[in-house]
Amino acid sequence: MAGSAVSSIRIAPSAGYVATKATTEPALVRWLLIAAALLFLGIFLFVPLGVVFVTALEKGVAFYFQTFRDPDTLAAIRLTLLAAGIAVPLNMVFGVAAAWVIGKFEFRGKGILITLIDLPFSVSPVVSGLIYVLLFGLQGLLGPWLIAHGIRIIFAVPGIVLATIFVTFPFVARELLPMIQAQGNEEEEAALTLGASGWQTFLRVTLPNVKWALLYGVILCNARAMGEFGAVSVVSGHIRGLTDTMPLHIEILYNDYQFVSAFAVASLLALLALMTLVVKSVVEWKSGQQLKQQILADGEEKP
């Protein structure tokens, strides 16, 4: 359950807590608590976010866009898109399969399977990269064999893709699982009884029910895939224009004292993060609506 309780979408339609005098605090205490909480969030979240955009535009809009004409920057953006483009669909297919088998069936070892799927959440990104170096690197277990066959994985694109897959491994499964479990098996059983095939049932019954959770899982997985730094840094080898992803390119620019360019590239990733948060809000709202309708419909069936 490690990282999940937190990243998961929450569908608790807020009723608005109706406070009475006995169960709330004096106005002064209330405002002090609100001020303290907002000050904390302001300093730790809004200030860093603001700094990214302000610094990126420090030398004007023209300079901002000039950063994206640099061939190394463009190569980094392309590699990031490629790595996410491979990692996200693979993890999506895995996530759907895992959520299906865990959510719809009872079997021995289910708890262990869930824990193992969560494992990449609790492994340091640096260790995530290291395990692939130890497997595929020059000194690694498969290293000599790979060299003999002229296959490069570490310090090359395949290593970056593998590390990206590893760190974003649990996201889709983790978002889908609670939704698939909450839906129960009745609708699928009804579809099968009425003669639908397994795939038809899955595509027409299960998928529409969990589409919002799936969408959020994919978006979150994508944001993490594009933003991964530690694991990718270990396997990349930092070859400019070849094995640099956007986060690694940010590091290079920053260490070269090209702060404004570093923040310009960072602003793209920050926009991606903001977009992810917006999608999350929309998905929470949508699945709240869906749940509400379902409960209303259930209520009409059994008066």
Residues present in the chain in total:
303
If the CB atoms of residues 52 and 79 are measured against other proteins, the closer one turns out to be 52
User: Is the torsion defined by CA of 95, 97, 102, 103 positive or negative?
Assistant: positive
First to last CA, the chain: 37
Q: Smallest distance, Å, CB 136 to other proteins?
A: 9
Specify the amino acid at residue 230. G
Question: What is the C-alpha radius of gyration for the chain, rounded to an integer number of angstroms?
Answer: 23
Q: Could you tell me the two tokens for 23?
A: 């169960």
Question: In terms of CB distance, is 63 or 259 closer to other proteins?
Answer: 259
**Shortest CA distance to 160 belongs to which of 86, 73, 254?**
86
Rounded to the nearest whole angstrom, what is the least distance from the CB of residue 18 to other proteins in the complex? Answer: 6
Shorter beta-carbon distance to other proteins: residue 74 or 205: 205
Report in angstroms how near the CB of residue 71 gets to other proteins at its nearest: 21
| Distance of alpha carbon 9 from alpha carbon 289, whole angstroms | 13
Two structure tokens written together for 175: 């978002």
Q: Directed axis angle between helix 171-183 and helix 207-227, to 10°?
A: 160
Closest CB to other proteins among residues 23, 301: 23
Minimum CB distance to other proteins, residue 121 (Å): 8
Which residue, 40 or 65, has its beta carbon nearer to other proteins?
40
Q: At closest approach, how far in Å is the CB of 166 from other proteins? A: 6
Q: Decide whether 74 or 272 has the Cβ nearer to other proteins.
A: 272
149, amino acid identity: H
Q: How far is the CB of 69 from other proteins (least distance, A)?
A: 21
